[in-house]
Structure 1
């Protein structure tokens, strides 16, 4: 089974200090996650591959700008999201773009549907850091409860309590924000 975890904070810190080997390892270790983000957000597989490459270049060039070494996943998600949006905007601006098939949703519509996830991302980013970390590890990265608790230095019961609070807070935030953007209901 492949390791599904992001590179650790120690590697991020070493890369921020300028360790070339750690930077290369950080970019390599982040690549599968960045590709997964890009394929879930971008309008086409080609855009996804290009966005993933651009995001990894940003990681390589700007790792020193990452304020919290434990926030690599959320930072990279934002970089990929912004790159996918940039590509959609560029496509819309091109006057020579071929007319889309009226029977299929346009690339822009597909991206906008996927970017409704941004609504949820904003709510997750608004969570307190302790709740956000446990929610990301369990619900986004898919780690087991035991592994999440160990990684965060918590007992399983404490991890479950934080996860419950995070999910409840997230539900409340989403309910207070109203209907999903772009949802006709």
Structure 2
């Protein structure tokens, strides 16, 4: 038995815990995909996914099965992504300070290489610009809206699952999602009008 937020006692529903190796096998790709959508960078996503499973492994003996393993892993992923995102923002701000002090001569540029593809360079550029604009627009959303949007529109989770992961009501999830989608429409309007 446990008490909910309103103080009423509810029976604890326990879900059978699979072996941890099975958890990793079953959910690694989903956690990696979520990490990529939250971070917007493949290397960061791989690092984050590994960190998620390290944290999960360390806490697995304390996992009581009150929620599905899937929901528990997503909550860990979202929390670690929030922390890492804040850390990266601080690092970027520090990097800009250093770059402003550097002379232009010291900056190195990598040679540009065209990808070998059947699409025209113009089409590739348009696709790249759109992908970058979408990721930038998502990155600029307030944290609660960004996480909600990724979990619903990219990961396809239900409102109830998102509410459990974020520890809020379904109404709050719907409100955050509406605000996030509205903000994205405004930011991406030039691309949508093409």
What TM-score, normalized by structure 2, do the two folds share?
Answer: 0.44
TM-score where L is the length of structure 1: 0.46
* Higher RCO (CA-CA < 8 Å; seq separation 6+): 2
